[in-house]
Amino acid sequence: MSEVEDHEEIEVLTLPLDHWHRARGGRMVEFAGYWMPVQFEGILAEHEWTRASAGLFDVSHMGQLYISGEGVEAALEAVLPIDLATLKPNGPRYSMLLDEEGGILDDLMVTRWSTGFYLVVNGATKWDDMGHLREHLPDEVTMMYMEDNALLALQGPKAAEALARIATGDQPLSDLKFMKGGSFKIGGVDVWISRSGYTGEDGFELALPAEEAAKVADLICAQPEVKPIGLGARDSLRLEAGLPLYGHDLSPDHSPVDADLLFAVNKRRRTEGGFLGAERVLRELAEGTKQKRVGLALEGRQAAREGAEVYNGDQKVGVLTSGGFSPTLGHPIAMAYLDMAHTAEGTALEVDVRGKRLPARVVPMPFVPHRYYR
C-alpha cells in the first residue's frame, strides 16, 4: 500500500442547510470538520446588521446530546463542576468539561429537561467529549447523540420581534427571559427555543429536526429584520462580547480559574469539590494562578491575532489567544493570558506584531456591553 493510499483524505461534512447557504451566496469554508458559511454579504456588513437588527446563524455543527437514566444528576455532577440542584427546568446554564487535572476539555450548555439533561457541546470537540462522557458516566446513564437535529441561532435587538410573529407555544415567546427555554412550533415544526446565544446580543437558539431546517430558516429569513449571517461576524461579535472560543482562549492548559470563568463552577462545588479536576480548581482558588485571561484594547487600527506576544518593556508577559478589529469600537481588541502582575485594569503594555510593537492596555470585558433580555 502506498503512503498516499495509507493516509486517505478526511471527508469534510456538510450541514443540513448546506444547499440553503450556497443558494444564498454563502462563501463556504472548512470549520470544525464541516463546510460552513464564513460570510454572505461581507463580515463587516453582517456584524453591523446583527448589532442593529437580527441575524440568523447556522450552528448545526455543534453536538447536541441527551443524557438520562437512573442517577443521572449525581453522575453528571461527578463530571461537571455544576450544581444541578440550582438548575430549574428548561433553564440552560454555561458549564465546562474538565479533565482529571482540571484542564478545560470543552465549554458547553446544560439544560434540565423533564427526564434528563440536554447538552450542547462544541463541534470541533464533540466526538472527544462523547468519548470522555462515556468513559466517566456509569452504565445506568444513557447518552444519546441527537445527530438528526439542526441548531440555529437568531441574534440581535430585533430577534424577538421577528421570531414572535412565527413562533407559537403554550407561552408567549416574550415570557422567555435570558437563559430560559421552552417548546414552540414554527410553521408546524416542533422547535426547542432558548433565549441564549454567543454574540452578547439578545437572541435565541433553536433546536429542531434537521429535515425541517430549511423550512424554518426560510420562515425566519422572510421576516424583514433578518438576514443570514456567517462565521466571520459570529467571531467578531463574540470577541466584542468577551466570550472565549474553545481551542483558542480555552484549552486543557487552562482551568476555569485562570480562564476567569469561575461563575461556571457553582458555589457549592467550589467548597465541596467532587468533580473531575476539582483538586486543581480548589488549589488554584486557594493559592491563586500564575496567569489570567484578560481583555486588551490596542491603539491604532492594526489588529493583532492569536499567538502575538505581549510585552512589558523587554519582558514577555503573555500571549494573545484571540484578536481582531472591533467594528463597534473602531479599534483593535484582543484576549490574552497575562502574568498576574500585569493583569490590573489600565496596565500599559505592548503587543508584538511581526516585529512592530503596538501599544495596548488592559481593559475590562465585555468590550461591548451585553444586551441580554433579563
Residue 291 · residue 339 · CB < 8 Å: yes
Q: Is the pLDDT of residue 7 over 60?
A: no
Domain ranges within the chain, ordered by starting residue: 1-243, 262-363
The stretch 68-84 carries a mean pLDDT of: 97
Return the C-alpha cell found at 72.
443521572
Please report the pLDDT score of residue 9 as a whole number: 64
**Residue 250 DSSP symbol:** B
Q: Is the pLDDT of residue 326 over 90?
A: yes
Pairing of strands 34-39, 13-14: parallel
Q: What span, in angstroms and rounded, lies between the C-alpha atoms of 277 and 270?
A: 11
Please report the pLDDT score of residue 10 as a whole number: 77
Q: Is the pLDDT of residue 244 over 50?
A: yes
Phi/psi of residue 74, nearest 5 degrees: -65, -35
CATH superfamily of 262-363: Aminomethyltransferase beta-barrel domains (2.40.30.110)
| CB-CB neighbours of 324 under 10 Å | 18
Residue 133 · residue 67 · CB < 8 Å: yes
Q: What span, in angstroms and rounded, lies between the C-alpha atoms of 126 and 171?
A: 32
pLDDT digits (tens, 9 = 90+) for 204-237: 999 999 999 999 999 999 999 999 999 999 999 9
- Write down the pTM of the prediction: 0.95
pLDDT digits (tens, 9 = 90+) for 99-156: 999 999 999 999 999 999 999 999 999 999 999 999 999 999 999 999 999 999 999 9
Please report the pLDDT score of residue 1 as a whole number: 37
Q: Is the pLDDT of residue 6 over 90?
A: no
pLDDT digits (tens, 9 = 90+) for 165-205: 999 999 999 999 999 999 999 999 999 999 999 999 999 99
Contacts of 105 by beta carbon, 8 Å cutoff, 6+ apart? 96, 97, 98, 99, 125, 128, 129, 132, 252
The stretch 71-81 carries a mean pLDDT of: 97
Mean pLDDT, rounded, of the chain: 96
Instruction: Please name which of 127, 176, 155 lies closest in space to residue 59, comparing C-alpha atoms.
Output: 155
Q: Is the pLDDT of residue 8 over 70?
A: no
pLDDT digits (tens, 9 = 90+) for 9-61: 679 999 999 999 999 999 999 999 999 999 999 999 999 999 999 999 999 99
pLDDT digits (tens, 9 = 90+) for 255-310: 999 999 999 999 999 999 999 999 999 999 999 999 999 999 999 999 999 999 99
Strand ranges, E, within 147-258: 149-155, 167-169, 181-186, 189-194, 203-209, 226-228
Residue 75 · residue 141 · CB < 8 Å: yes
Question: Fold for domain 1-243?
Answer: Gyrase A; domain 2 (3.30.1360)
Q: What span, in angstroms and rounded, lies between the C-alpha atoms of 260 and 250?
A: 10
Residue 177 · residue 195 · CB < 8 Å: yes
Q: How far is CA 244 from the centre of its chain?
A: 7
> Do you find a cis peptide bond into 366, omega within 30 degrees of 0?
yes
Contacts of 91 by beta carbon, 8 Å cutoff, 6+ apart? 111, 112, 179, 180, 181
Please report the pLDDT score of residue 251 as a whole number: 98
Q: What span, in angstroms and rounded, lies between the C-alpha atoms of 117 and 143?
A: 10
